[in-house]
Structure 1
Amino acid sequence: MKPLKHLALILGLGLSAGSCVNLNESPESFISSEQFYKTQADALTAVNAVYFLLNSGGSTVQTPYNTLFATGMDFMSDDIDPGPGATNPDVRSQSVLNHSSTGLRVLQIWQQHYAGIKKANVAIEKIPGINFDQTLKNRLVGEVKFLRALFYFNLVRLYGDVPLILQDQTSIKTADLQIARTSAKEVYAQIEKDLNEAVPVLLNTYSGADAGRATAGAAKSLLSKVYLTQEKWAATVAKAEEVISGPYGYDLFANYADVFLPATKNGKEHVFSAQFKSNSLGQGNNQAPRSARPGVPGMIGSFADQVRFYTNGNDKFFSIYKLYSPKDLRKTNGTFVTKYKGSDGKFYATLNAPGDSIPFLNKYWDPNTVSNLSESAANVPIIRFSEVLLIHAEAENEVNGPTAKAYASINRVRKRAGLDNLTPGLSKAAFRDSVYLDRRLELVWENQRWFDLIREKDANGKIILEAALKKVGKTNVTVPKHLLYPIPQQEIDLNKLLTQNPGW
């Protein structure tokens, strides 16, 4: 089989609405879906097209795991900010929660996910009718159900009630395209259904060109996270334990940096990732140049992504960088970098802020593409084994308190980071806070923090979003308004059955 990502290009999946293209209104030929879905190769192409919506883009289009979540979500958090190179006023406004229902990123996240769902629905409908090996056919449908579940999981967490569309919309009648929002409860039920149906037909591992496809372990891992988000604690524990003790071969890399290096991608810790490849039709990871320091000879960095600085006591330039223990190997062994070596052989330190220095984010750095970082082949983790361990520790604590099993899971993550084991005897609340902190430090800049801010709770059961953002100077945050994104106004204008979220 051809690599799952790049084969999809033949379907013409360019999503740049701003492209200047002269369209011929009288095409000389047209291939209908009934004509196209005839062979096993057609089925593979249809499935690969769904994967493509995770990471396509290049220089003209942002998709969820190729900078869109960073500019449309991470910048709103307490960890990451738009750097000097992020000049889009819509993005900078959203980063301080001044976004609105007409915001570009609010619209793009919605549209990109529904584009993926549309392609998933087509594949799920058409593949069963194609004549080829039934086992492979079932597996391909399972992969697409996994991806559809992931798309809906992101949507329901960001927007709440959303239209649940499970069939391809082929009608061009306006009335047929008016679809009301479905309750979040029903959306979650469908997510669980898709994942549970995917598990028995997916493989445990893939190799070669198929590396990176959804596995049974990935479906179970994502299901554990879906349960965690809904506070189905016992179900979370059970599903996470199936992954931890299952036949999937997951483990932690001994070296934290190996989680992100292209040379070790799709390894034992990578449960599911958005795949990137350098020098292949512009499908490199564009997060790499966005985070890099400008002004280094032989390297082009735009410094569009940076840590969020805020006042903490007498320190006016505090950031997540300073939350790490000096012993924590994650700090400068994968997450941040403090100097670059230029093509002139000289080292260039981080830029100076008044009275302090700027640590640069480093997770998507590719040492093989230094002269053209936009061709970075570093994958973006969507879920990895360390997170499954932290999910298990958190849920086990909620069900039974900080048991030996809960300690064992979090301590595996801490040991790899070079930290001491958590002290036995912590209270349930103290253990919960420890898991929260390790999640934050382990998963920073992996499109996780915003979702955690609207999910995690303090000792009084209050969602942490408001307090966390006010602590870093984002004082205009309000709850419950900012627990959800606004429904894009453009979508409401097109679909009169859509309603707006409270406060927007």
Structure 2
Amino acid sequence: MKKIYSLLIAISLGLAACTTLEEDPQSFISPGQFYKTANDAVAAVNAIYFHLNQNDIVGQPIYNSLYNTGMDFMTDDLSAGPGSPNPDVRSLSALTHSSTLIRGKESWQQHYSGINKANVAIERIPGITMDEKLKSRLLGEARFLRALYYFDLVRQFGGVPLLLTDQTQLSVEELQVPRNTADEVYAQIITDLKESANSFKAGSTGELGRATEGAAKSLLSKVYLTKRDWANAITTAEEVINGAYGYKLLDDYSQVFLPAYKNSKEHIFSVQFNSAANITNAVTARDIATGIPGLKGSYGDQLTFYTKGTDKYFSIYKLYTAKDKRRNVSFVTRYKSPTNGKWYGNLHDSKVPGDSIPYLNKYWDPNYASTGKSEANANLLRFAEVLLIHSEAENELNGPTEKAYTSLNKVRKRAGLDDLTTGLTKDEFREAVYLDRRLELVGEYQRYFDLIRQTGSEVTGVGPEGRGTLLKNLQAVGKTNVAARHYLFPIPQFEIERNKKLKDAQNPGWE
């Protein structure tokens, strides 16, 4: 089937958003000139996907380094490595960033550009005379992507301006808009995802790499989990687990990330990469060690190393048991040069046998050495996570029931681990889910948001427990600058200066 690697860059440029209040609305293609045929509708929706792996503004695409450096570096798992000299990026890793953070501005602008393209498609496609099944499917994709972009924004910044119409035809004054509350943004996300799921029921089958009904349901279960709406998270996850979508865990954990198996039965929604279209995964080079003949590696992504007991180089790598098959897929400790056939690795401490530096390996493409271009997809939603969502929500609502154990143990069994021992308390089971989620999803842009949800603090607005997970975990690994303000990113100062209605709306601690 045809994939959506070529997203019509020219069209995407023509439909760039002005929601950041810096575009000239007169520079856009007139709606009357464009939205007339089915091909126009397809091109409009393709343009919404664009920001997932490409960029028409400035800086890095969202899921092709931006979220890697902007989210994973703010956790206890990863930090900026030697190949990340950019002071903006290093400030995120050390949690010393401010409202002038370039990466925050880029994230805001790119998400809103995608949102506006979705708004345009949702407004204009209904008026096009075309096959109704295809029209319904395209509208489902547009609503899914708008929900995904807003889900990213509300988790990163809290309440944000909720823009649901085409902004390209408005004046600068009309674009001065206030923040909506986080609850209002979440309500729209849920509405969009429900409508998206229903849009696919018309029977039109999408192409590989595109959003589907199963993707809409899976993301909705994740939204409910984030809101700690356990009952709806359970119900929606079970619709995915027990539905007719055909999702299953791949037998081998390594297959989940290899390009040869992408878009298979475990992959619910992934960001697509293809070297023929010159859209490749830039994260691969960031993960690889420097100085390996024949490999292009910058070692920009480094594990967070810290002292635990007498071990001065403890990291997430050492949280895996020897039986856990995920460790040697997610990480490597040495590389074989494709040029001279020699093995290269580095030791933390030559006095400690085998204490080698682990390098993140999830986005490794076996063909990377010969091409320098990785086709490894970025998996945003996969079936293993739906099982973990179900297990966590079931435990939070009903305690460690048989259903909670069943979903978690499916993930553990694939990892080569024994079933979790029954008889755990609710708190013990919660910690077990958290750990397996951390080990299963390392490097997949999840940890920062997981730490916030697991914090259960009044400060975050997500729960009353006040476990303080984010602060405790980051302080434990030496990221002592962490504070309550880091539950959210600061609203970019650039946006505050451009939009007078954001002037007094900065997040707590960033004023």
Q: Scaled by the length of structure 1, what TM-score is found? A: 0.93
CA contact 2:3–2:209 (8 Å) conserved in 1: no
1:495 aligned to which of 479, 483, 499: 499
Quick one: distance in 2 between partners of 1:205 and 1:293? 47
For residues 214-263 of structure 1, give each alpha carbon's deviation from its aligned partner in whole angstroms, at most 9, with x where no partner exists: 11111011000000001100111111001000000000011001000000
Task: Supply the AA of the counterpart residue of 2:481.
Answer: N
Residue 265 (structure 1) aligns with: 262
Q: For 2:7, what is the secondary structure of its paired residue?
A: helix
Match 2:478 to one of 470, 473, 480: 473
Name the CA distance, whole Å, in 1 between partners of 2:432 and 2:10: 47
Query: Does the 8 A contact of 2:15 with 2:117 survive in 1?
Result: no
1:92 maps onto 2:98 in alignment: no
Conserved 8 A contact 1:57-1:63: yes
Deviation at 1:71, TM superposition (A): 1.1
Q: For 1:12 and 1:252, locate their aligned partners in 2 and report how far apart those are by CA, in whole Å.
A: 35
CA distance in 2, matches of 1:14, 1:320: 44
AA aligned to 1:240 is: A
Output the amino acid matched with 1:85: G
| Alignment-mate amino acid for residue 316 of structure 2 | I
CA apart distance, 1:358: 1.2
Aligned ranges for residues 270-285 of structure 1 at < 5 Å?
A: 270-281=267-278, 283-285=279-281
Aligned to 2:131: 133
Q: Compared with structure 1, are the counterparts of its residues 238 and 204 closer, same or farther at alpha carbon in structure 2 (3 Å cutoff)?
A: farther
Q: Which residue of 2 aligns with 1:305?
A: 301
TM-score by length of 2: 0.92
Structure 2 Cα separation of the partners of residues 214 and 258 of structure 1: 21
Amino acid at match of 1:154: D
**1:361 equivalent in alignment to 2:334:** no
Aligned equivalent of 1:414: 412
Residue 337 (structure 2) aligns with: 342
> Which of residues 362, 374, 377 in structure 2 aligns to 1:376?
374
The correspondence for 2:194, drawn from 186, 193, 196, is 196
Q: What residue in structure 2 maps to residue 228 of structure 1?
A: 225
* Percentage identity across paired residues of the two chains: 57
The answer to whether residue 272 in structure 2 is matched with residue 248 in structure 1 is: no
Relative to 1, partners in 2 of residues 1:362 and 1:176: Cα closer, same or farther, differing over 3 Å? same
After superposing the two structures, state which structure 1 stretch, 311-320 or 362-371, moved more: 362-371
Number of the residue aligned with 2:213? 216
1:19 corresponds to: none
Distance 2:43 2:56 in 1: 20
Distance of 2:508 and 2:5 partners within structure 1: 38
Name the SS of the counterpart of 2:174 in structure 1: helix
The separation in 2 between residues aligned to 1:12 and 1:352, in whole angstroms, is 47
Query: CA deviation digits over 1:473-496, x for unaligned, max 9?
Result: 0111111x1110000000000001
Show CA shifts across 1:419-478 (max 9, x none): 010000000000000000000000000000000011113795423100010010011111
CA-based RMSD: 2.3
SS for the counterpart of 1:272 is strand
By how many angstroms is 1:298 displaced?
1.4
Secondary structure of the structure 2 residue equivalent to 1:44? helix
- Answer with 225-234 or 349-358: which moved more: 349-358
The separation in 2 between residues aligned to 1:65 and 1:466, in whole angstroms, is: 26
1:483 to 474, 483, 487: 487
Task: Establish whether residue 5 from structure 1 lines up as the match of residue 5 from structure 2.
Answer: yes
Map of 1:150 onto structure 2: 148
Alpha-carbon distance, 1:210 to partner: 1.5
| AA matched with 1:259 | V
Q: Which moved more, 1:402-411 or 1:335-344?
A: 335-344
Q: Describe the shift of the 1:144–1:267 C-alpha distance in structure 2 as closer, same or farther (beyond 3 A).
A: same
Question: Residues 60 and 35 of structure 1: is their aligned pair in 2 closer, same or farther, counting only changes over 3 Å?
Answer: closer
Question: What residue in structure 2 maps to residue 317 of structure 1?
Answer: 313
In structure 1, what is the Cα distance between the partners aligned to 2:221 and 2:408?
16
Secondary structure of the residue aligned to 2:312 is strand
Instruction: State the alpha-carbon separation in 2 of the partners of residues 467 and 261 from structure 1.
Output: 35
Quote the Cα distance in structure 2 between the aligned partners of 1:226 and 1:204. Answer: 24
Kept in 2: contact 1:299–1:372 (CA 8 A)? no
- Report deviation, 1:15: 11
1:54-203 map, 5 Å: 54-57=52-55, 61-202=59-200
1:293 corresponds to 2:298: no
